Amino acid sequence: MNPGLSAINQTFFMSSDAFIIPTNPDPFSIMALKTLKTVLPRWKRWSLQSREIFKDASYPLPNTEMKFIGEIVQRFNLRNQKAARPYQGKIDEIITYIESELVPELEKHSMTYDISELISSGRLENHCLAQISEFGALLQKANIAMVPVFALTDRQIGETGEVLDQMATKRDRFDLIFSNMANVVMELVK
C-alpha cells in the first residue's frame, strides 16, 4: 500500500495483522507519515470498537493485530553504492521521523513489534527494513519476463559481457535485500 488515506488502504489495514509503510525520499512521504501518525491509531480504535457491531455481518471485521513492522525507502538513484546526495537527506528525514515520532505514537496503541533482538543482532538498525534504489533497466526486463527483478535469470536479462555482469550484480543485490527483508518479516510475525 502507498502511505495514503484511501478507503481501500483503511480496509487493508483493518484486515491485517502487520503492515509495512513504503516511502519515497520526497516531501510527500513525510507529509503522509505525519498524517498516518494520527490516522492509524484512529483506524485501529474504530476497528476494535466495531468488531462487536459487525460480528454477525456477512463480512465481519477480522480479529487482527494491526502492528507496524517497518518502512521501506525506495525509488532513489545510487552514486558509489549509496543513495545519491539529493536523496540522502530525505531518507534520513524519513527514518528520523519514523523513529522519533511515528513509532512512539504507535507504541502507545500496541501497534509495534519488539525489534530490539533484531537490532542487537545487527540485522536491523531501526524500523527501516530496506532501502531499495531504482531498478533501472532491470524493471523492464522483469516486466517482460513477468518475474520479480530479483528472480530474473541471466537468460531473461538477455545481455552479454560487462552489461550482463553489471545487471546480474544489481539483480543479486536486490535478491539479498528482499531476502533479508522477508526473513525479518517472517521472524516478527511468527
Q: How far apart are CA 111 and CA 165, in angstroms?
A: 43
Q: How far apart are CA 59 and CA 137, in angstroms?
A: 43
Identify whether residues 98 and 73 lie together within a single domain: yes
Lowest mean pLDDT among 6-10, 42-46, 133-137: 6-10
Pairing of strands 67-74, 82-83: unpaired
- The DSSP result for 46-88, as a single string, is HHHHHTTTTTTSSSPPP----EEEEEEEE---EETTEE-HHHH
* Total domain count, the chain: 2
Identify whether residues 1 and 14 lie together within a single domain: yes
Identify whether residues 58 and 73 lie together within a single domain: yes
Q: How far apart are CA 127 and CA 102, in angstroms?
A: 11
- Grid cell 525506495 is found at 74
- What angle do helix axes 27-50 and 7-14 make, rounded to 10 degrees? 60
Identify whether residues 34 and 124 lie together within a single domain: yes
- Grid cell 534520513 is found at 92
Mean pLDDT for 91-114 is 97
Higher pLDDT, 77 or 43: 43
Residue 180, pLDDT score: 95
Of 156, 151, 101, 158, nearest to 126 by C-alpha is: 101
Task: Look at residues 134, 157, 174 and tell me which one is the last residue of a structural domain.
Answer: 134
Res 85 pLDDT > 90 = no
77 falls in which pLDDT band (50, 70, 90)? Answer: confident
**Average pLDDT of the chain, as a whole number:** 93
Give the C-alpha distances (Å, rounded to integers) separating 85 from 27, 81, 93, 99. 15, 12, 13, 22
Residue 190, pLDDT score: 87
Identify whether residues 37 and 128 lie together within a single domain: yes
Domain of 51 in residue numbering reads as 1-134
Task: Look at residues 112, 134, 156 and tell me which one is the last residue of a structural domain.
Answer: 134
Identify whether residues 113 and 143 lie together within a single domain: no
Residue 45, pLDDT score: 95
Q: What is the pLDDT of residues 111-167, one digit of tens each?
A: 999 999 999 999 999 999 999 999 999 999 999 999 999 999 999 999 999 999 999
Share of the chain above pLDDT 90, in %: 84
Residue 84, pLDDT score: 81
Mean pLDDT for 28-38 is 93
- Grid cell 460480528 is found at 55
Identify whether residues 110 and 185 lie together within a single domain: no
Residue 132, pLDDT score: 94
Identify whether residues 74 and 130 lie together within a single domain: yes
